[in-house]
Chain A
Amino acid sequence: MVFEYAPAPESTAIVDIAPSYGLFIGGEMVDPRDGALFKTVNPATDEVLSEVVAAGPEDVDRAVTAARDAYEHRWSRLSGRDRGKYLYRLARLVQERSRELAVLESIDNGKPIRESRDVDLPLVAAHLFYYAGWADKLGYAGFGPDPRPLGVAGQVIPWNFPLLMLAWKIAPALAAGNTVVLKPAETTPLTALAFADICRQADLPPGVVNIITGAGDTGRTLVEHPGVDKVAFTGSTEVGRQIARAVAGSRKKLTLELGGKAANIVFDDAPLDQAVEGIVNGIFFNQGHVCCAGSRLLVQESIADDLLDRLKHRLATLRLGDPLDKNTDIGAINSQAQLDKIRELSAAGEHEGAERWSPACELPERGWWFPPTVFTGVTQAHRIAREEIFGPVLSVLTFRTPAEALEKANNTPYGLSAGVWTDKGSRILWMAQRLRAGVVWANTFNRFDPTSPFGGYKESGYGREGGRHGLEAYLDVRA
């Protein structure tokens, strides 16, 4: 290559990671009562970053009690205007510390700094800012003149967008007048713990936000805790199912944002170069660790060869490596477990007869990595066309007619998102009406905004996050 980009690493001097962290309960960092410590590592280097607590049942109980106390004695007594002001403070503090948080996110998660800096953090601040404005306007949200909060929200979030998912959960909950106990993912606790410090800087009343770290057991304990009035979960469909079973028969309100296997459909009259970008953004954004990733490319047969040529040409320019390098497009896989899953499904793809392709791509020696991968010759019956891989792996299928594209796109238990690429307006609307998915991106993909409701059909979950609709999850809307 003539024009080699020299390393352009973002400085890590801006972050200060403590050797160990406690739990953020009742407005302060406390030592665990029955939780043990575990390590969180940098997935790009396999180095231990810090030790955090796997909160035990007593710790969970203490957090829920703190949240209850805050709900009854502080937060529910505040005016909507004052709740809004606290949220505005949080939004501003996130903006002020956004570079620090972006670097920390990339270190703990493995995502490229370009994405944490240009996508995650701006959206985090925007989400807090958006819901801050709702806090004193709930009566205008369409859920009756005086909608009530639910109480204590138990929130469990995934590792793919750690701080963004935190914001998606905390902002509407607080705006609606609830208090929260939030559990970040096992492998990505650090930005949530940094957010605890932001709550401190904001002088948020103690107990309004509680952050307890841990793995699946901690999450289960939280979700099943009788003191929780509302459960919100983002993660795999399998865990979502378990949670739905666990809350059965209770009065807990439940919203779930689960897996997906989105079809990204490219018609022969599509703006091809932008479609290629949309495909790349659809499946290689965040290493494909995206529930709404466009993991199934459905391309009209007449342009399939041309489009794949363009796509492969484009993939050859993707830069995989150090997440903190400002030119990195593809960072590290978040964990060994996730890497194993991606490898297993990719092996199944080959085994089932699909043709595997990756651009020439050198993987770093340490850490967890997977090259951008494209499978062609995939059929609907292949596992890689049906199961969520949650990695940088694209399955390519072809179709001939709009009806066939639609049928293939909808032929999945999931229904989170879909993409349509065509320059024909009426066809976009025809497809958009019929795709059974909660978000349809037409001539674009993977766009997010706090004003825009996001969530799934079918086994991709229920409830919406974002927009006016997102408030419903945190309000008692029953007459």
Chain B
Amino acid sequence: MSERDGSGRLAVRKTYKLYVGGAFPRSESGRTYEVRAADGRFLANAALASRKDARDAVVAARKAFAGWSSATAYNRGQVLYRVAEMLEGRRAQFTAEVADAEGLDTDRAGRIVDAAVDRWVWYAGWSDKVHQVHGSSNPVAGPYFDFSVPEPTGVVAVVAPSSPLLGLVSVVAPVIVTGNTCVVVAPEDAPLPAISLSEVLATSDLPGGVVNLLTGRPAEIAPWLASHMDVNAIDLTGVADGELATDLEASAAGNLKRVVRPPQAAPDWSAEPGLDRMLAFLETKTVWHPVGT
């Protein structure tokens, strides 16, 4: 972010805060940490979220779950599409932030932003299709009508990967498109695109609390989320430290969280995602009813 533009005007800097329950609070701990660009420049002080921020974020996510999960699939699809629209409108800003965070030139950073926009569009379209692809009518051997439908798991904790925008979008969109709410831990070294994305979310008709975003140290926050008894699932995609991942998975067993383990190889975020990430956070509910007069 340049200090002066062409006309010599001094830029107004942004304060990067957390995104919890639709609001942008500072960390309750009052802590911040310095975020630098890939080339070492100072970019901003980001909030260094505490375990209490994580706790508050889970409360917000739980509170939002009932409404978001019972919104119509059409409505959720429109909200996600709206996110894409808003992101597209702020392409320049995100291009700059991605360029700074990943040390890329503007062209490449721009392509990543485009891919992120397209990913929202892709997932938006799934909102009212995944039920048809993954649900079923079951021909049981008896006088019963029997069907299975996918339902959101609940509150999902997400440790986002280091790819600060495309990777982030690729792990958040599949969680929320089906009606889950989430608490996302942004990548420690490159949290700014995530904060800016939450500004997009806040202006995209996404109900507050559906996505909650924490910046700080995953090694500090994630254990509290992994052991939290009101979190239903955890995505460890962004946990690079194998030992930490094992600990988190073991801790998640406390209430039998659904766990997505870290990938064995660095993921190619530009590839078409497939259904895996949506299915990982969907339950299957089977309903039986007699058929008679």
Contact = CB atoms under 8 A, between A and B. Distances in A.
Note whether A and B form a binding pair.
yes
Interface of A: 126, 142, 237, 240-242, 244-245, 248-249, 251, 256, 258, 413, 428, 432-433, 437-444, 447, 449, 451-455, 457-462, 464, 467-469, 472, 477-479
Interface in B20-75: 70
Given A439-B288, A441-B288, A256 B250 contact: no
Nearest to B233: A462
A461 B138 contact: no
Identify which of A256, A258, A441, A454 gathers the most chain B CB atoms within 10 Å of its CB.
A441
Interface string B236-249: 00000011011101
Contacts of B8: none
A241 B138 contact: no
What are the nearest 9 A-B pairs in CB distance?
A249-B246, A244-B253, A248-B249, A449-B140, A248-B250, A452-B138, A451-B138, A245-B250, A245-B253
Identify which of B140, B264, B285, B289 gathers the most chain A CB atoms within 10 Å of its CB.
B285
Contacts of A458: 232, 255-256
B276 A453 contact: no
30 contacts: A142-B133, A241-B254, A242-B253, A244-B249, A244-B256, A248-B246, A248-B249, A428-B289, A438-B283, A438-B284, A438-B286, A439-B288, A440-B285, A440-B286, A441-B287, A442-B287, A442-B289, A444-B290, A447-B140, A451-B138, A451-B139, A451-B141, A452-B146, A452-B148, A452-B288, A453-B148, A455-B284, A462-B258, A472-B279, A478-B276
Contact of A258 (B138, B256, B287): B256
Given A142-B133, A442-B289, A249 B245 contact: yes
A452 B140 contact: yes
B136 interface: yes
Interface string B252-276: 1111101001001000000100101
A469 B286 CA distance: 11
Instruction: Give the interface residue-count category, chain B.
Output: 35 or more
B134 A142 contact: yes
Contact of A467 (B148, B232, B254): B148
B142 interface: yes
B256 A459 contact: yes
Given A248-B249, A457-B283, A443 B138 contact: no
Contacts of B148: 452-453, 467, 469
Contacts, number: 114
Nearest to A122: B141
Given A241-B256, A458-B232, A459-B255, A452 B289 contact: no
Interface in B136-165: 136, 138-142, 144, 146, 148, 153
A432 B289 CA distance: 11
Nearest to A143: B275
A457 B70 CA distance: 17
Given A438-B286, A449-B138, A452-B138, 14 more contacts: A126-B141, A241-B254, A244-B256, A248-B249, A248-B250, A248-B252, A258-B256, A439-B287, A441-B288, A451-B138, A458-B232, A468-B136, A479-B271, A479-B274
Nearest to B139: A451
A444 B144 CA distance: 9
A455 B284 CA distance: 8
Identify which of B142, B258, B289 gathers the most chain A CB atoms within 10 Å of its CB.
B289
Interface of B: 70, 133-134, 136, 138-142, 144, 146, 148, 153, 232, 242-243, 245-247, 249-250, 252-256, 258, 261, 264, 271, 274, 276, 279, 283-290
A203 B155 CA distance: 48
B201 to A, nearest CB: 26
Contacts of A438: 283-286
A440 B287 CA distance: 5
Given A249-B249, A457-B283, A440 B255 contact: no
B23 to A, nearest CB: 28
Nearest to B246: A249
B289 A461 contact: no
Nearest to B141: A449
Contacts of A467: 136, 138, 148
A447 B232 contact: no
A421 to B, nearest CB: 11
A93 B258 CA distance: 37
Contacts of A241: 253-254, 256
Nearest to A237: B256
B179 to A, nearest CB: 11
Contacts of A245: 250, 253
Contacts of A447: 140, 142, 144, 288
A461 B256 contact: yes
Given A447-B144, A461-B256, A479-B276, A454 B286 contact: yes
Contacts of B252: 244, 248
A251 B264 CA distance: 9
A416 B125 CA distance: 30
A461 B256 CA distance: 6
Contacts of A461: 256
A469 B256 contact: no
B253 A248 contact: yes
Nearest to A413: B255
A123 to B, nearest CB: 10
A258 B261 CA distance: 21
Contacts of A251: 261, 264
A439 B284 CA distance: 8
Nearest to A448: B140
A462 B153 CA distance: 10
Contact of A440 (B246, B249, B279, B288): B288
Contacts of A433: 70
Nearest to A419: B288
B136 to A, nearest CB: 6
Given A248-B246, A453-B136, A240 B256 contact: yes
Nearest to A240: B256
Contacts of A455: 284
A326 to B, nearest CB: 22
Contact of B142 (A256, A440, A449): A449
